[in-house]
Structure 1
Amino acid sequence: MTDESADASWLVIDWGTTNFRAFAMSSSGKVIKRKEAKKGLLQVKQGEFANELKRLLESWLPNYTSLPVFMAGMVGSQQGWVDVPYAATPVDLNELAGQGHSFILPWGAPATIYPGVCHKRGKGQYDVMRGEEVQLIGAASLLGESTFHAVMPGTHSKYALMEDSCLKAFSTFMTGEMYSVLSQHTILGRGLSTDTASKSAKAFLKGVEESSPEQLTRQLFLVRTHRLFENLKQEEVLDYLSGLLIGHEIKSVATLISSKDLTKPVNIIGSHGLNEKYQLAFNAVGLTSQILDGDRCFIEGMKQLQKVIANETSAVV
């Protein structure tokens, strides 16, 4: 049986805070092999990134030493391998590619770490992202559109506006982290377990309906009182909490989208479970949305960046 990895021409790596993901790419841009590991930044000692990458690759791809490596995500942060300065909005594909940090790995292969993006709001306030900008570039290519709105669910969920092929603005919502903290470390989740949650769409939608972009902390106490007065079953409480938080985010996002754009679908870019929840919430508040696979967008974005690096013309963005 032939080894598919022998056909690999370059590597794409998404190295985040908690996870490491690698994709072996063919010369035509097809994913021929992938690897995932719980080896994020938090598990790598400073100064050991090259050694850790070698350990992760050598048992996976025998010919890894000859392959160029393209990386994005928190690997380019202050806590990562190299602190690659943020590109500032508005920023397009060519600017992102041009601001990548290139170097030679200890085994002689070339490597590039792409920058994240920062967005300055009023009064010196900033938003930042690392990795999501690659997904947005990929989404633009896959959609064949230069202007669209997107939400990228996660621990720190992002709302972004792509306009005229540029990432123009974005906002961060700590929705996922808030859910984790509230469900595990406050009275709202005491005695409950995510393992026993019912995955109740009805309870989730009740949370979306009762959420408010202006009164989050007040509405959160309903998690306690609905449980106290048995308006929710024990196993529905966390679904309701999830609905409150995601509903708060969705309704806040709606205020950021101009009325002329409300008829266009918001693109939800992420993983399977969260994508479906967000689409349910968008439907509940009367906004149209469509789901794009986060991995597919990331890989497509890295392909577009690699084309620029190789002095090729990007097909879409």
Structure 2
Amino acid sequence: MHLIAIDWGTSSLRGALLDGKGHVLEERSHPRGILTVPPGGFSALFEELFGDWMRPTGSFCLISGMAGSKQGWVEVPYCPCPSGRVEVGNAIVEIEPGRIAIVPGMSDMHDGVPDVMRGEEVQIFGAMALAGLSDGLFVLPGTHNKWVTVKRGRVTGFRTFMTGEFYALLSQHSILARTLDAQAPLDEVAFLEGVTQADNGQGLLHNAFGARTLALFDRMPAGELASYLSGLLIGEELRTQSIHAGDLVLIGSPALTQRYLLALEISGNTARTLGAEATWAGLHALAAIHLSNKARS
């Protein structure tokens, strides 16, 4: 199998050329998320960015992420929880038969309110394969963070937290933007102070205002305030979780997983971390299921 694996998000996309065993031969990334693609322009952009990878006979591309959303290339229905690799693999939709297909994403329901993810399910299946796990709690930090429960190889449920987006809104578009430096590097002491403060029982709406008053009273410089605010938000997210001893896996960029590891250590929890390799492993596993189904049909 000559597999082109692509994670196509809202603001960017990345791709990997994989051999038959799932080894990465080459990687590419572009700032061409789905929101930058004009109507009807996905096929042409795909050929522009990855056409050379698709030339060898038998090449097959599997795409995950927002390319399967209403605003994407083709809308692909969600797989409801509980679902595992087989159910998701069986629901893959080909948009160019035998050549290009899209992973469906997953949905869950909480008290009548739906929750969804596109792309994270692939990372979870890849992480399960790489870590040799069939049970565990998988945490995917990002703009919209996911906390995903897996039992016996199937995603039984998940919840989304808009932590990353709230950080961007508060640090760039609220009164806090006037006194903090959102581009400052992580200050671990200030970050952990924010994580601790989030557990005071007063709630984020109150605690966030402290990021302003600490500046007003010269208690914390602008470079540290961004880390403090990040700690408040991640601490608030962690405060709502029920974390038990066992397998906890963080999947994401090193910059984000580092912050969650620091916050988890306060409560005596540890986690293993994975990055982009989880996406490629997940797409490789799902492609194998899809192509096997085609060979039998």
Mapping for residues 158-173 of structure 1, pairs under 5 Å = 158-173=146-161
User: For residue 28 of structure 2, what is the aligned residue in structure 1?
Assistant: 35
Q: Deviations over 1:214-265 (max 9, x none)?
A: 6111111111111112221221111100000011111212x3x4xxxx1224
Aligned mates of 2:72, 2:6 — CA distance in 1: 13
- CA deviations over 1:33-76 (Å, ceiling 9, x no partner): 11100000010012110011011124x54726852111110000
For residue 103 of structure 1, the aligned residue among 75, 95, 101 is: 95
Could you tell me how far apart the structure 1 residues matched to 2:121 and 2:108 are? 12
Equivalent-residue separation in structure 1 for 2:43 and 2:202 (angstroms): 46
Q: What is aligned with 2:259? A: 277
Q: Which residue of 2 aligns with 1:304?
A: 285
Deviation at 1:192, TM superposition (A): 3.4
SS in structure 2 at match of 1:68: strand
Q: Secondary structure at the match of 1:183?
A: helix
Percent identity (aligned): 35
> What is the distance in 1 between the residues matched to 2:18 and 2:274?
21
2:122 alignment partner in structure 1: 134
> Do the aligned residues in 2 keep the contact of 1:265 with 1:287 (CA within 8 Å)?
no
Deviation at 1:310, TM superposition (A): 2.6
Q: 1:145-165 CA distances to partner (integer Å, 9 max, x unpaired)?
A: 211001100000100100111
Match among 76, 82, 99 for residue 84 of structure 1: 76
| CA drift at 1:200 | 0.9
> 5 Å matches for 1:1-317?
9-58=2-51, 61=53, 63=55, 67-104=59-96, 110-122=99-111, 124-195=112-183, 197-212=184-199, 215-253=203-241, 255=242, 257=243, 262-293=244-275, 295-311=276-292
SS of 1:310 mapped into structure 2: helix
Partners of 2:139 and 2:148 within 8 A in 1: yes
Q: 2:179, 2:222 within 8 Å by CA — same for their partners in 1? A: no
What SS does structure 2 have at the residue aligned with 1:75?
Answer: helix
Residues 189 and 238 of structure 1 are in contact (CA less than 8 Å); yes or no, is this contact kept in structure 2? no
SS of residue in 1 equivalent to 2:257: helix
RMSD: 1.8
Once residues 54 and 100 of structure 2 are traced to their aligned partners in structure 1, the CA distance between those partners, rounded to angstroms, is: 18
Aligned residues: 292
- Kept in 1, the 8 Å contact 2:208–2:229? The answer is yes
**Equivalent-residue separation in structure 1 for 2:86 and 2:202 (angstroms):** 39
Structure 1 segments of 4+ aligned residues over 6 angstroms from their partners: none
Give TM-score scaled by structure 1 length. 0.88
Which amino acid in structure 2 is aligned with residue 52 of structure 1?
L
Q: Give 1:103 shift.
A: 3.0
C-alpha distance in 2 between matches for 1:24 and 1:172: 30
C-alpha distance in structure 2 between counterparts of 1:65 and 1:39, whole Å? 27
Paired AA for residue 283 in structure 2: M
Distance across 1 between alignment mates of 2:46 and 2:185: 39
Check the 8 A contact 1:41/1:80 in 2, yes or no. Answer: yes
SS at match of 2:292: coil
Change (3 A) 1:148 1:285: same
Opposite residue 307 of structure 1, the aligned amino acid is A
